[in-house]
Amino acid sequence: MFLKDAIEIRINNLCNEKNITINKLCTICGITQSTLANLKVRPKTNISTLTILRICRGLNISIEDFFNDPLFQSNDFEDD
């Protein structure tokens, strides 16, 4: 799995937990919908740390909470 795939899954899981859509998340965070849509449609797209920070702020969680998930416990992420 690529790191960006784990991040995408985590974002979707957090939206489900908070009962909001990706579109609503984008509005809350002040990021464009295309920013998150690119994770799905463009395999080589990477999400910036600033975008992750904005998502965390919008969801009222810390970056530590964002990455404190079994998805990120692996050291076997693909890098290409």
As a dihedral over the C-alpha atoms of residue 79, residue 37, residue 33, residue 6, rounded to 10 degrees, the angle is -40
Question: Whole-prediction pTM value?
Answer: 0.88
Asked if pLDDT for residue 6 goes beyond 80, the answer is yes
Mean pLDDT of the chain: 89
Domain parsing of the chain, residue ranges: 3-66
pLDDT (tens digit per residue) in 41-75: 777 778 899 999 999 999 999 999 999 999 998 77
**The domain 3-66 is classified under which CATH number: 1.10.510.10, 3.30.9.10, 3.10.20.30, 1.10.260.40?**
1.10.260.40
User: DSSP string of 6-35?
Assistant: HHHHHHHHHHHHHT--HHHHHHHHT--HHH
pLDDT at 80: 61
